[in-house]
């Protein structure tokens, strides 16, 4: 009923539409009659004049524009202007026939909004939309244009359409909220931001995904991944302070934490450039950009849902990367790293991949993973070996994904290899694979550097196939190859002894000699390539002897069985 009296005309929009496009809801406010009859408001350069038979006696300065008005028309509807005019008169201003001058530097909405207010005060109709209603409502409150002064004043008129615009259309709710950016903190104090946030949260909570997890989905969103949740795109257009309000309202509605976490990830990907991590807002002065980035990242970390698995490990790592770059609060960053560390046992290697974009950088940021693994080691001191091995397999898998990167420094690769305790690996096959890939991608490494990379790899934790490959691998340092061959000989010697058969004295002597060679190696001597070839031949000979002995053993067992039957 009130909307009809005000002349509001709504154009219905799809509730699931985007903010962009479409015609806005439109309202025409018809003010009460003015005490001064005026023809129109006209502009001449930076000056505005009211065409009327009565000379103006009030000059109002708003920004760079001057409005030549009449005190009677303005003060009858504005308590604020009434007080200013009375104060100026008391000081003796305007008593010599000149215009009384008032400066309104802090008026919400500026010149455009004041133009609408002047039209209202002189009895002209005022056109408003979802984009202009919030600044006009704030300005009406600033000027104290309440019904106490004049029935049907501007505050009550704008308040009616404001509520209508916020709750009638999803699209217009966002237009109202976006327009609040230019009239902060008035829009916050007058609860416009809260009303918009509650309206958005209410609509988002009607999403079928809001309270139940989808089939075969944990609800998490990695950074940069597209989302099929229809309201994410519109929410991601909001400024950080308004986004915080919306997230708080959504949480109060009981929307599942996984969806909230995915929404935060979507907003972050939208507002931070993937190539330079610069806050993408051209309206912000450069000297404030860095401070705003830091505050924004800290706000994002603080608003994360606390529930387990509500945010993906990949997105949390991305936040760590942003936090390190912008030097956010140390305690906040440590808390975030600890949270990621507690999730490692449920992660896969791909979750740890966070891209770099510099020409000389590694493809993926290895430093943040090293930090998180170190945090995990501090947490996992009392964990069972089985749980440690889960993370061990994860890190070895991650190493295989990054090993081919030619920009990956030896020290970073080693730090990641050595970060976990020795009992975190039950099998070194993936570790060996990663080391081999790294050595292949970095052929210029010195012998000592290659040996330091292979230090964590142990013979007894490799499968038979991996051992055979290692003993023939020319990329491995000679010291490691020789050590593996000697250990292989010892293993086969023990197997031969187990068959309780005679061993060739020459073979025994050679085995002892090789063990002595091992002692020499431990003292720092490196076997030449020729010696390596001889050891390989000896290993093959011992394998053949072992196979022959095993065959003889089987034949003897069959003969014994036949004798027993007879």
The pair of structure tokens assigned to 316 is 């949390």
Distance CA 334, CA 324 (A): 11
DSSP state of 75: H
Q: What is the pLDDT of residue 520?
A: 46
Average pLDDT over every residue of 218-243:
78
Residues 272 and 240 in one domain: yes
pLDDT-based confidence at residue 488 (cuts at 50, 70, 90): confident
- Given a cut of 60, whether residue 6 has pLDDT beyond it is no
Quickly state the pLDDT bin for 157 (edges 50, 70, 90).
Answer: very high
Same domain, 169 and 200: no
User: Which of 7-21, 224-238, 296-310 is modeled with the greatest confidence?
Assistant: 296-310
Residue 526: pLDDT band by 50, 70, 90 thresholds?
Answer: very low
Above 60 in pLDDT, residue 456? yes
On whether residue 487 sits in a domain, the answer given is yes
Return d(Cα 31, Cα 8) in angstroms, integer.
13
SS3 19: coil
**305 domain-assigned:** no
Selection from 282-296, 422-436, 549-563 with the highest mean pLDDT: 422-436
- Residues 164 and 186 reside in one and the same domain: yes
Estimate the share of the chain in helix, then strand, then coil, as percent rounded to the nearest 5.
Answer: 60, 5, 35
**Does residue 160 register a pLDDT over 60?**
yes
Whether residue 77 is contained in a domain is answered as yes
As given in the structure block, the two tokens for residue 490 are: 């010892």
From 126, 234, 249, 110, select the one nearest 173 (Cα to Cα). Answer: 234
Q: Which residue among 284, 302, 318 closes a domain?
A: 284
Q: What is the pairing mode between strands 100-103 and 58-62?
A: parallel
Domain co-membership, 133 together with 87: yes
Least-confidence region, from 98-107, 259-268, 404-413: 98-107
| Cis bond upstream, residue 185 (ω within 30) | yes
* Interior angle at CA 69, CA 73 and CA 122, nearest 5: 40
Average pLDDT on 227-250 reads: 90
Count of structural domains within the chain? 3
pLDDT of 108-127, one tens digit each? 999 999 999 999 999 999 99
Helices (H), 49-78: 71-75
Find the mean pLDDT for residues 504-532. Answer: 50
CA 310, distance to chain mean position in Å, is: 13
Structure confidence at residue 477 (pLDDT) = 86
Domain boundary among 190, 219, 246: 190
Per-residue pLDDT, averaged over 418-444, amounts to 92
Determine, yes or no, domain membership for 556.
Answer: no
Predicted local distance difference test score (pLDDT) of residue 423: 87
Per residue in 383-395, pLDDT (tens digit) is 788 889 999 999 9
The verdict on 184 and 235 lying in the same domain is no
* CATH number of the domain enclosing 135: 3.30.710.10
CA distances from 261 to 51, 267, 310 (A): 57, 10, 6
Average pLDDT, the chain: 82
* Average pLDDT score over residue span 69-84: 93
CA 330 – CA 324 distance, rounded (Å) = 9
Do 4 and 17 meet the contact criterion of CB atoms below 8 Å apart? Answer: no
What per-residue confidence (pLDDT) applies to 212? 63
- Per-residue confidence (pLDDT) for residue 532, from 0 to 100: 62
72, part of any domain = yes
Range of the domain at 274: 191-206+231-284
Classified as helix, coil or strand, 407 is coil
pLDDT at 36: 78
216 inside domain? no
Give the pLDDT of residue 290. Answer: 81
Measured CA distances, 112 to 28, 128, 199, 416, 434 (Å): 16, 12, 27, 60, 65
Do 177 and 244 reside in the same domain of the chain? no
Of residues 163 and 30, more confidently modeled = 163
For range 215-227, the mean pLDDT: 54
Domain closes at, from 254, 284, 314: 284
pLDDT(376) > 70: yes
Cα–Cα nearest to 476, from 433, 427, 420: 433
Q: Are residues 170 and 52 part of one domain?
A: yes
The pLDDT > 70 percentage for the chain reads: 76
Query: What per-residue confidence (pLDDT) applies to 34?
Result: 73
Residue 366 inside a domain? The answer is no
DSSP secondary structure string for all residues of 459-509: GGGS-HHHHHHHHT-TTS-HHHHHHHHHHHHHHHHHHHHHTT----HHHHH
pLDDT at 217 over 50: no
- Say yes or no: 114 and 100 in one domain: yes
More confident residue, 249 or 564: 249
Q: Is the pLDDT of residue 416 over 70?
A: yes
Same domain, residue pair 149 and 135? yes
First to last CA, the chain: 113
Most confident of 207-221, 296-310, 491-505: 296-310
Instruction: Give 239: exposed, middle or buried? Use CB within 10 Å, 0-12, 13-18, 19+.
Output: middle
Contact 503, 489 (CB under 8 A): no
pLDDT (0 to 100) of residue 499: 57
Same structural domain for residues 156 and 32?
yes
The pLDDT of residue 385: 83
Residue 509 has pLDDT above 50, yes or no: no
pLDDT for res 10: 38
Q: Which of 390, 357, 355, 388 is nearest to 369 (CA)?
A: 355
Mean pLDDT value across residues 25-30: 83
Share of the chain above pLDDT 90, in %: 52
CA distance 299 to 302: 5
pLDDT per position as a tens digit, 273-324 = 665 555 555 666 666 778 888 999 999 999 999 998 899 999 999 999 999 9
- 46 and 195 in a common domain: no
Residue 99 has what pLDDT?
Answer: 79
- Residue 546: pLDDT band (50, 70, 90) is low
Claim to verify: residue 104 and residue 125 sit in the same structural domain = yes
HSE-CB for 559 with a 13 A CA cutoff: 6
Distance CA 515, CA 529 (A): 17
Task: State the average pLDDT over residues 187-216.
Answer: 83
Q: Looking at residue 206, what is its pLDDT?
A: 85
Dist. CA 282–CA 271, nearest whole Å = 12
Average pLDDT over residues 139-154: 94
> Is residue 334 in a domain?
no
């Amino acid at each position: 009923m009130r909307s009809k009296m005000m002349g509001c005309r709504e154009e219905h929009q799809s509730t699931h539409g985007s903010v962009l496009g479409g015609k806005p809801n439109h309202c025409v406010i018809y003010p009460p009659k003015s005490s001064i009859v005026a023809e129109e408001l006209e502009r001449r350069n930076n000056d505005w004049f009211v065409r009327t038979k009565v000379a103006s006696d009030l000059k109002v300065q708003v920004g760079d524009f001057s409005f030549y008005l009449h005190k009677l028309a303005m003060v009858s509807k504005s308590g604020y202007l009434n007080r200013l005019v009375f104060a100026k008169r008391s000081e003796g201003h305007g008593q010599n026939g000149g215009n009384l001058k008032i400066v309104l530097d802090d008026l919400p909405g500026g010149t455009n909004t004041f133009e609408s207010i002047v039209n209202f005060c002189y009895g002209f109709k005022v056109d408003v939309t979802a984009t202009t209603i919030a600044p006009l409502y704030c300005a009406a409150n600033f000027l104290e244009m309440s019904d106490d002064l004049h029935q049907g004043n501007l505050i009550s008129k704008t308040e009616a359409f404001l509520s209508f615009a916020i709750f009638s259309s999803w699209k217009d709710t966002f237009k109202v909220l976006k327009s609040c950016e230019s009239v902060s903190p008035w829009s916050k104090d007058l609860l416009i931001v809260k009303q918009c946030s509650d309206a958005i949260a209410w609509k988002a909570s009607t999403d079928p995904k809001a309270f139940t997890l989808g089939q075969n989905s944990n609800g998490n969103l990695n950074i940069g991944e597209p989302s099929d949740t229809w309201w994410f795109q519109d929410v991601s257009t909001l400024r950080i302070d308004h986004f915080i309000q919306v997230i708080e309202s959504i949480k109060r509605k009981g929307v599942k934490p996984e969806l909230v976490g995915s929404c935060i990830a979507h907003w972050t990907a939208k507002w931070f450039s993937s190539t330079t991590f610069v806050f993408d807002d051209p309206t912000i002065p450069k000297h404030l950009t860095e401070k705003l980035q830091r505050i924004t990242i800290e706000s994002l970390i603080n608003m994360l849902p606390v529930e387990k698995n509500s945010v993906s490990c990949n997105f949390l790592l991305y936040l760590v990367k942003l936090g390190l770059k912008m030097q956010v609060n140390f305690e906040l960053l440590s808390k975030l790293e600890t949270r990621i560390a507690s999730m490692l046992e449920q992660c896969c290697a791909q979750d740890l991949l966070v891209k770099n974009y510099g020409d000389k950088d590694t493809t993926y940021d290895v430093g943040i993973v090293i930090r998180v693994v170190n945090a995990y080691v501090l947490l996992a001191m009392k964990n069972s070996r089985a749980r440690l091995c889960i993370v061990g397999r994860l890190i070895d898998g991650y190493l295989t994904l990054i090993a081919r990167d030619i920009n990956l420094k030896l020290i970073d690769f080693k730090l990641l290899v050595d970060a976990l305790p020795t009992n975190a690996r039950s099998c070194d096959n993936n570790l060996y694979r990663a080391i081999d890939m790294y050595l292949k991608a970095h052929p210029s490494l010195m012998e000592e550097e290659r040996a330091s990379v292979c230090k964590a790899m142990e013979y007894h934790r490799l499968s038979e196939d991996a051992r055979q490959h290692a003993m023939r691998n020319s990329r491995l340092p000679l010291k490691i190859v020789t050590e593996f061959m000697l250990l292989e000989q010892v293993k086969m010697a023990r197997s031969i002894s187990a068959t309780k058969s005679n061993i060739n004295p020459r073979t025994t002597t050679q085995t002892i000699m090789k063990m002595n060679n091992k002692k020499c190696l431990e003292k720092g001597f490196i076997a030449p390539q020729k010696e390596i070839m001889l050891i390989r031949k000896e290993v093959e000979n011992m394998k053949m002897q072992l196979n022959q002995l095993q065959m003889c053993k089987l034949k003897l067992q069959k003969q014994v069985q036949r004798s027993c039957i007879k």
